[in-house]
Structure 1
């Protein structure tokens, strides 16, 4: 069983996907193939993860029809600009081994070079018009930069992938996305970033409120957090290289959280960001050379 969401251009996308951020290339193909075997049909990667080639290999190992797998990847800021982004699409499609990409995002805003950000998004619009991508979007855009982008482009992004988990819910971002018809997709959806950037006592996985809700449903804290995202209308892309956890993270369609339980998880928001502040992203500090092959 799975659950789909309909994007603002009518394209259907699985609400729950499989992420490969920080997954080493040598384990990526096996993890992707296992996720597809379990039932995931959305795979999320990025040029700057340096594992697109292995994602493509994992998809081929799964031996599914191309139309059954929703492939999502992202353009890094070093490849922003109209022509540069068109070329970056070619690089990503080549590594993935696909003729088209289902969802292509700009990975970060570049506030100090916003004209390049706009040029990059216009390239996404061209790719969409040409049928080389099925949907386009953004990642880590705060409401002010979303507004700036909308003022200078034609298409409304289908997705905004941002940090959202019980300790950092970004309600103002979610509202801005919803007001414009943009789907919020959560990275670090279970707050994994709270585990490896803090101590275990401050991890979402050890939170008493989430633990009690999990106990009530006979589920794990991770499953409860993923179910919270789905019931509140978000897409989520958990990651793991452990086959048991890959399967467990997909086993979230047989229970439902109550309104009070959803509100209790919402109330855990601390307002503390775990990832980098999008407002301080610069080419100088975040440059990454994206190889041709």
Structure 2
């Protein structure tokens, strides 16, 4: 199964490490299982009344709750499909996160980067540039092919595209590759990275407060609950949105959106075992195929509006340009 989530691991892993470290620093010295069971945090000694039983504590909770609600409401934005989502990081911060992830990835795969102007590099670059031009996204775009059997591709904020060579046989043709790259570029078009970074920032603060004022174990339990009820559903929603936007982008770039179904059918045939959709960051392949079927008429209209020639002539034309 195509793992389109590497970009998330690259951007969020460092954030999670800082959060985990923050928990250790915040809770160190405040909690010790070997203390007398009458010990209470911030209680001033043995047998003191716990903080949550005091009136000032609940005043603080109320003020924090109101402030958080106002902050959340004032940072709601509409995605390109009209979905309301919370974004509290600037495009500059998003690009900085992408730049950091780019340095890490280039360091990890520096010996596997396919040289520029080779046949495989030109092939991937040709498809990517057509979709970038159709998206009208600005950025310092770079395209890298990684010589690896992994069936994957991802795009970092700021315009850094990575395609693993193992994906190309599964993509089969330019339309198949365009389906994947348009999906990945659609994540940047919709600022899904900013959405995930914003959620991680708020949740890290919440976990820290729970660890300090309630119990570190409660913070860990809360992390598991929010992952199941918030993180995973939001990730699947972003993936679905990227599928929808990606069809429009590949159609505007004069690729055949109907080919997306064949690409995902090949993906489905290559899958061995996938976790239940409820526990997965991505929708099931079958549900993606069904959704794409419903979006194809709109995407075909987009392609017709772009006055595209037939696919054979289009591919031949761009091929002769040497992209």
Pick the TM interval, shorter chain: under 0.3
TM-score with structure 1 setting the length: 0.26
The structure that has the greater radius of gyration is 2
Which has a greater percent of strand?
1
Which has a greater percent of helix?
2
TM-score with structure 2 setting the length: 0.24
